[in-house]
Structure 1
Amino acid sequence: MRKFVLLTAFMASFAAVAAAETFNDAPVVDVACSKNAAKDPDAHTRECALQCQKGGFGIVTSDHKFLKFDSKGNTLVLDALKKSEKNAHLRVDVSGDVQGDTLKVTSLKLL
């Protein structure tokens, strides 16, 4: 029984590590505009993203799904957007653990 518990714990920890993903050159949009922006995320503007920042941010994946950021990801992308002079075609390289429809961000770089 003890071996089974240890094996189960080991497999669960491996599954958590395997869930880490990296998304390169992914469009970033605010949650409020995510449904409309998923069709053409590069048309979404920095101005709109900053106006709608209260709801948080996320990325549009290559299969057109929206993954929202956790609080760390929201803070990182908001700081980057405030410093950026780029108006549209907002993209990021981001890594983290996917949990349901949320990306628990470990690193983020606005491109």
Structure 2
Amino acid sequence: MKLLASVLAFALVAAPAFAATETFNNVSVIDVSCSKKAAANADAHTRECALACAKSGYGILTEDQKFLKFDANGNKEILAQLKASDKADHLRADVTGDVEGTTLKVKSVKLQ
């Protein structure tokens, strides 16, 4: 019984270490505040709104309409790119990271 408990405990601790890195290409970037209402037409979500709602954080809308929130590093990187961008809407990016539940631990993000 102790062996089973040890194996299960190890599996829970080690599972994040074995998370596969995923790449999402040409996906919509939306702030968390607007993620539900903007999902129906994500490309119409504006840069102005995304910057105004920056405190809520950011994420992506995957092809299967799942919203994944960025971790702190991803939020910092995409905010800098949004500030430097002159796009009015159609905010899309290529993102690589590890999915942990509904959070994306961003390794790289590039606003298109």
TM-score tier (shorter): 0.7 to 0.9
How many residues matched? 107
> Percent of counterpart pairs with the same letter?
58
Normalized against structure 1, the TM-score is what? 0.86
1:19-64 Cα deviation digits (max 9, x unpaired): 2100000000000000011111000000000000001000000011
Counterpart of 2:108, as a letter, is S
Segments of structure 1 that go 5 or more residues without pairing to the other structure are none
Structure 2: state its 5+ residue gaps: 1-5
After TM superposition, the structure 1 = structure 2 runs for residues 1-111 of structure 1, keeping only pairs within 5 Å, are 16-111=17-112
SS at match of 1:39: helix
Residue type matched to 2:87 in 1?
A: K
TM-score for both structures, normalised by structure 2: 0.85
Q: Secondary structure at the match of 1:40?
A: helix
Q: 1:16 deviation in Å?
A: 3.8
CA contact (8 A) 1:23 1:95 kept: yes
CA distance in 2, matches of 1:38, 1:87: 17
Residues 56 and 69 of structure 1 are in contact (CA less than 8 Å); yes or no, is this contact kept in structure 2?
A: yes
Deviation at 1:68, TM superposition (A): 0.3
SS at match of 2:73: helix
Q: Label 1:15 to 1:36 Cα distance change in 2 as closer, same or farther (>3 A).
A: same
Are the counterparts in 1 of residues 16 and 100 from structure 2 also a CA contact under 8 Å?
no
- Runs of 4+ aligned residues of structure 1 deviating over 3 Å after TM superposition are 12-18
Q: Give the CA RMSD over aligned residues.
A: 2.1
* Cα pair 1:38 1:65 within 8 Å, conserved: no
